[in-house]
Amino acid sequence: MSKFRVALSADFKKPDGSPAYPMFDLSPLEDDPDVEVAYAKPVDGRMTAESMAGFDALILLAAKFDADSIPADGRLSIVARFGVGYDNVDIEACSAAGIGVVITPDGVRRPVAVTILTFLLALAGKLFDKDKLTREGPAGFAKRPGYMGTGLVGRTLGSIGIGNIGAEMFRMCVPLDMKFIAHDPYADPELAVSLGIELVSLERVFTDSDFLSLNTPLTPETHHMVNAARLATMKPSAYLINTSRGPVVDQPALVAALTSGVIAGAALDVFDPEPPSADDPILKLENVIATPHALCWTDQCFAGIGASDIEQVLKIKSGETPPHLVNRKLATEASFQNRLSGYKKTFG
């Protein structure tokens, strides 16, 4: 092995070959004499085993990586997702093949928390309603009394999940003087206390929240966690914010709740399906703010995500366990550690 070979999924390039995201700085890889960088093209939105052959690492954008993507040569050691969601990666298949899967919580913590805060303030102030009124001229100005916003002092901000992003959301919202509640069966109680968060049952986070933010990964347990029955327990004045994954919400049930006034409104950066069709009912509702799974996309966000991916790829090359393994049990397996030892001996 003369080079540590890193593949990037080809969707990191535009059709003309230029970088799709120039703020993703590849120089730490390109300047390393022991690293070779190449692009691997997905087929029908999926990485192929043939394209992965001969690579030690893959930095993956939007394409899927499943059991059929795993090369027969056994060389691939890490799939580094560009972001924190990993529902496009078959974790079980990767673990069985000894491939680590990493995500980039450091790169998205602040940008996604800012997204949630943006939604919170826009919903509370009826920002888009008032923008529309203004564009109507004097007739719109005359309608202002019917569009009173919601003051935030003393209101309850709830979260399902207080992990990386959820905790940062609460940190950023401290100056708003809201009451904080959260449901998270894996929460660190000391962290909750330090942030002034009351840990509550799943039922209470729905019934008590004035603004409920979803900050949980998509798992079999969280799929359609927000359903008709739970929406029905929310305040009619409450708002739902989803920046996690679309299928955490039963979208038809949400449409029904928003249409009938069960809740006041929602702000969504994710959908099910995604992208939604142009005639999807969720996009027709005036009490919904919708963004295309991209509100957190900034130059700083993508630079941070890319830096985190590269850092973890280079840790593998140096024979170290990367810090943000999704399949954490792999780190304790002798075969994986032997692979790391081999990299350390060659490149360390």
pLDDT of residue 1 exceeding 70: no
Residue with tokens 């049952």: 201
Mean pLDDT in residue range 270-275? 96
Q: What's residue 85's pLDDT? A: 86
Q: Which of 50, 136, 203, 274 is catalytic?
A: 274
7-13-17-22 Cα dihedral, nearest 10 degrees:
-110
DSSP codes, 9-62: EGGGB-TTSSBS-TTS--HHHHT-TTEEEEEE--BTTB--HHHHTT-SEEEESS
Per-residue tokens: 327? 């399949």
Distance CA 301, CA 128 (A): 25
Mean of all residue pLDDT scores within the chain: 96
pLDDT in tens, 212-258: 999 998 999 999 999 999 999 999 999 999 999 999 999 999 999 99
Q: Report helix, strand or coil for 105.
A: helix
- Per CATH, 4-103+298-347 and 108-286 having the same topology is answered yes
As its CATH architecture, domain 4-103+298-347 has 3-Layer(aba) Sandwich (3.40)
Q: What's residue 166's pLDDT? A: 97
Q: Which of 109, 245, 324, 339 is catalytic?
A: 245
How distant, in Å, are the alpha carbons of 9, 25, 178, 267, 270 from that of 58?
7, 16, 42, 33, 25
As its CATH architecture, domain 108-286 has 3-Layer(aba) Sandwich (3.40)
Q: Which of 36, 223, 293, 320 is catalytic?
A: 293
Residue 296 near residue 113 (C-beta atoms within 8 A): no
Mean pLDDT in residue range 77-83? 97
Q: Is the torsion defined by CA of 141, 144, 146, 150 positive or negative?
A: positive
Question: Domain coordinates of the chain in residue numbers?
Answer: 4-103+298-347, 108-286
Which positions ≥6 away from 345 have C-beta within 8 Å? 319
Q: How confident is the model at residue 66 (pLDDT cuts 50, 70, 90)?
A: very high
Is 245 a known active-site residue? yes
Strand-pair partners of 39: 8
pLDDT in tens, 23-46: 999 999 999 999 999 999 999 999
Mean pLDDT in residue range 110-119? 97
Share of the chain above pLDDT 70, in %: 100
pLDDT in tens, 138-195: 999 999 999 999 999 999 999 999 999 999 999 999 999 999 999 999 999 999 999 9
